[in-house]
Amino acid sequence: MKDNSFRAVDDMGMAVSGNYSLDADGNAKFEIIHKGASPEVEVIDVIIMLQGDELTIKFPDTGEVEKYKRER
């Protein structure tokens, strides 16, 4: 979304939403909103790739890859 908010379904089928920002060093900050709970904030160094309706996040330090699909 153009306002830096997101809604997606993670690779385990869980719907997530929140806001994101990128700093000058390439770190991503995700504020993930869970119903009935305080927002979860994560600041991470990642490589972000967007292709069509799929967002791929790669963690350079571990090689872990997470994939998300746009919620429709």
Is the separation of the CB atoms in 68 and 9 below 8 Å?
A: yes
Question: Domain ranges in the chain?
Answer: 5-70
Residue 22 C-beta-side C-alpha neighbours within 13 Å: 9
Instruction: Give the residue among 5, 7, 2, 1 at the shortest CA–CA distance from 29.
Output: 5
State the average pLDDT over residues 21-30: 75
User: How far, in Å, CA of 44 to CA of 66, rounded?
Assistant: 13
Query: Across the chain, what does the average pLDDT equal?
Result: 78
- Which class does domain 5-70 fall in? mainly beta
Three-state SS at 30? strand
Q: When comparing pLDDT for 11 and 69, which is higher?
A: 69
pLDDT at 67 over 80: yes
